[in-house]
C-alpha cells in the first residue's frame, strides 16, 4: 500500500513541477487562490487538481493534495533533500532569529486543522530567503501528520535541532 501512495505522490508532485516548467502561469495563479482559504473547497481549483488525484482517496489525503498544490504555487522552488525541519534549519542560519524557532515549534504543535495556515507562513519565509522545498517529502509528511506516534513532527525536530551531519 505504501508503494502505491509513494507512486501517487510522485506523479502529483511531477504534475506540479510540470506546471512550473511549462510556464503554465494561469494554472499557478489559479492555484494561488487556494492560499486565501481552504483550497479543497474552491471549485476554481477542481479542473486543475481533481484530474490528478487517484480514485478512492480519503478526505484527509485529498485535502492535503489540494493544500500542497496551493502552497507549491506560492513558491515553486524545489529541493530534493530533507524535510521542513531542514528548511527551518536553513532559515535559522540565514536569519539568525529566535522568531524562526518559535514559528517552527508552533508548526510542530499545530493541530491538523491549523496546520495549513502555519505552513503558508513557513512557505512565505522560505520564499523570502530563496530556500527550495522538498515538495514530495512535504506531501508525504502531511499525509502522515496525524500519526499517533508523531513521527513526522519528531523527524522535523531532529532535522532542525539535531546534528547537521546526521541528516
Domains along the chain with CATH numbers:
2-74 (no CATH), 84-133+144-166 (1.10.520.40)
Rounded CA separation 32/26 (Å): 10
Q: DSSP assignment of 47-63, as one string?
A: HHHGGGSPTT--HHHHH
Would you give per-residue pLDDT tens digits along the chain (167 residues)?
567 778 999 999 999 999 999 999 999 999 999 999 999 999 999 999 999 999 999 999 999 999 999 999 999 999 999 999 999 999 999 987 779 999 999 999 999 999 999 999 999 999 999 999 999 999 999 999 999 999 999 999 999 999 754 44
Residue 97, phi then psi, degrees to nearest 5: -130, 135
**Residue 97 confidence (pLDDT):** 74
Q: How much of the chain is helix, strand and coil, in % rounded to 5?
A: 75, 0, 25
**Residue 140 confidence (pLDDT):** 96
8 A C-beta contact, residue 160 and residue 85: yes
Amino acid at each position: 500500500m505504501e508503494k502505491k501512495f509513494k507512486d501517487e505522490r510522485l506523479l502529483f508532485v511531477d504534475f506540479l513541477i510540470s506546471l512550473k516548467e511549462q510556464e503554465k502561469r494561469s494554472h499557478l495563479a489559479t492555484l494561488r487562490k487556494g492560499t486565501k482559504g481552504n483550497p479543497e473547497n474552491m471549485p476554481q481549483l477542481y479542473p486543475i487538481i481533481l484530474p490528478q488525484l487517484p480514485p478512492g482517496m480519503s478526505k484527509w489525503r485529498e485535502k492535503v493534495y489540494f493544500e500542497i498544490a496551493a502552497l507549491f504555487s506560492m513558491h515553486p522552488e524545489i529541493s530534493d533533500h530533507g524535510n521542513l525541519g531542514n528548511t527551518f534549519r536553513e532559515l535559522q542560519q540565514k536569519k539568525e532569529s529566535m522568531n524562526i524557532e518559535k514559528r517552527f515549534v508552533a508548526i510542530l504543535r499545530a493541530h491538523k486543522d491549523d496546520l495549513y495556515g502555519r505552513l503558508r507562513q513557513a512557505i512565505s519565509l522560505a520564499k523570502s530567503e530563496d530556500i527550495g522545498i522538498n515538495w514530495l517529502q512535504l506531501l508525504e509528511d502531511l499525509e502522515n501528520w496525524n500519526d499517533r506516534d508523531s513521527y513526522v513532527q519528531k523527524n522535523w525536530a531532529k532535522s532542525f535541532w539535531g546534528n547537521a551531519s546526521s541528516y
